[in-house]
Amino acid sequence: MDSYVSPFCERYASAKMKYIFSPDYKYGTWRKLWIALAEAERELGINITEAQIDEMKAHVADIDYDKERRYESRVRHDVMAHLLTFGDACPNAKPIMHLGATSCYVGDNTDVIQMREALLLVKCRLVSLIKTVRDFAVKYKGMPTLGYTHFQSAQPTTVGKRAALWLNDLVCDLSNLDFQLSSLAMLGCKGTTGTAASFLELFDGDADKAVKLDKMIAAKFGFDKTVPVSGQTYSRKTDYNVVSVLCQIAQSAHKFSNDIRLLSHEKEVEEPFESDQIGSSAMAYKRNPMRSERIAALCRYVVCDSMNPALTASTQWLERTLDDSANRRIALPEAFLAVDAILTLYNNVIGGLQVYPKIIKKNLDRELPFMATENIMMYCVTNKGADRQVLHEAIRRHSFAAVKAIKEEGADNDLAERILADKLFDLTREELDKIMDVHAFTGIAERQVDDFVADVDKLLKQNKDFLTEAEQVRV
């Protein structure tokens, strides 16, 4: 192979997402837009025959790319090259193609159509992922685990409650995605500077027909609205709004991948690992969280990529400038291709995540005596008539001694045994075990999962048509 191949196409994105941004889909949509324009103009009284439209329909898919490239090398204009190629295939329809339109009629409208289709595919991936994370949260809602703040041991939570945090991020992302889907509008037919002057001329000054044409084009592609005003292009803020949704999904996935990588270090969880998979070319024992690391890498790409439409939107000139084109050809498809891979990987990891309860318990038991000290002190004051201040000093002394032994000698945490042996506390093993029952330290974590999942289930029911199995890509 002697030419660069995008990793998005070779390794990461699914066939479905790659098709949406393929030349066949893009330029096929251009031709469909030219057909829709001719149909609408004919309906509004322009002298266009049914035979001309039928001829265009017959050649909508047979794009001669070699001829198009030859035309573009000569005319230096991609839309005109495709128009000339289409015209050669449809000689009778050639005189009426692109009537009154500008390049952005096919370019911008196709971009919106592609973004809508890509967002719908992302929604399928996202809803499927929400279901997978939901199931994981429910399964482990009652399993206590050590909580971490600053990646230092903190009050216990449950494995399922931690997963509910991931789930909440995804639910927020779905809400934002739905809003952008509902907000998408086609450019329509607005001419070279957005005034529709060419169409006004075409319809002999009938402004109502020019306005109606705009709506007719949108309806033919399943849109209920066009942008209310535009220059030659729709506002590039639309691109930013769409990519910002993808950026937010990337943020959520990156957070998840970070958590998995940290917990993998603690040996509490482990992402799927194939029987013949190699973790390291040198260290044969390694089981590195490579899929989570890949998620993190792709997420960073998307977060950075979101700057492209932001800068493009902010630097447009008056009614049109072409310095958006080259950037958008790369930034928009690659954001979608990356998120497609991210969501597939995320579903794969969480769906096959290995949880190790004994390690989780071991890590929790190692820290629990420190967390239980206040409860121990309160129990002894209430039930043993002990002096709170005296016990506080005793706990401080025992805790420091236990920490010293742990850090300097590598000893186990024996704080509980030190307290049991201290007559000031007057505790039996049974009493101490009851005080240190880990479930007493997880608060209402389990109920929080149940309450949240009840709302998630309603959301999944509303979106049941999007619950599809994620297409497999290389993971």
pLDDT digit string (tens) for 114-130? Answer: 999 999 999 999 999 99
List of residues 6+ apart from 391 with CB closer than 8 A: 376, 377, 380, 381, 424, 425
Helical residues (DSSP H) of 140-186, grouped into ranges? 159-183
Kindly report the number of other CB atoms within 10 A of residue 23's CB atom.
10
Give the residue among 433, 413, 429 at the shortest CA–CA distance from 366.
413
> Phi, psi at residue 147, to the nearest 5°?
-85, 160
Residue 341: predicted pLDDT = 95
User: Does residue 67 register a pLDDT over 80?
Assistant: yes
Q: Which two tokens stand for residue 183?
A: 């907000």
> Phi, psi at residue 453, to the nearest 5°?
-65, -30
User: Does residue 346 register a pLDDT over 70?
Assistant: yes
Beta strands in 139-230 (DSSP E): 144-149, 152-158
Kindly report the number of other CB atoms within 10 A of residue 254's CB atom.
20
Q: What domains, with CATH codes, occur in the chain?
A: 21-100+188-226 (1.10.275.10), 103-143+158-185+233-352+454-466 (1.20.200.10), 373-435 (1.10.40)
pLDDT > 90 in the chain, percent? 69
Which residue type is seen at 160?
G
Flag the least confident range among 108-112, 156-160, 223-227, 437-441.
437-441
Q: What is the mean pLDDT of residues 134-142?
A: 97
Residue 286: predicted pLDDT = 59
Active site residues: 150, 280
Residue 378: predicted pLDDT = 87
pLDDT digit string (tens) for 389-445? Answer: 998 999 999 989 988 888 888 888 888 888 888 888 888 898 888 888 888 888 899
Which residue in this structure is represented by tokens 């500008």? 102
Q: What global pTM score does this model have?
A: 0.90
Residue 289: predicted pLDDT = 86
User: Does residue 460 register a pLDDT over 90?
Assistant: yes
Q: What is the mean pLDDT of residues 12-28?
A: 94
Residue 351: predicted pLDDT = 94
More reliable by pLDDT, 433 or 301: 301
More reliable by pLDDT, 212 or 153: 212
pLDDT category, 212, cuts 50, 70, 90? Answer: very high
Residue 474: predicted pLDDT = 59
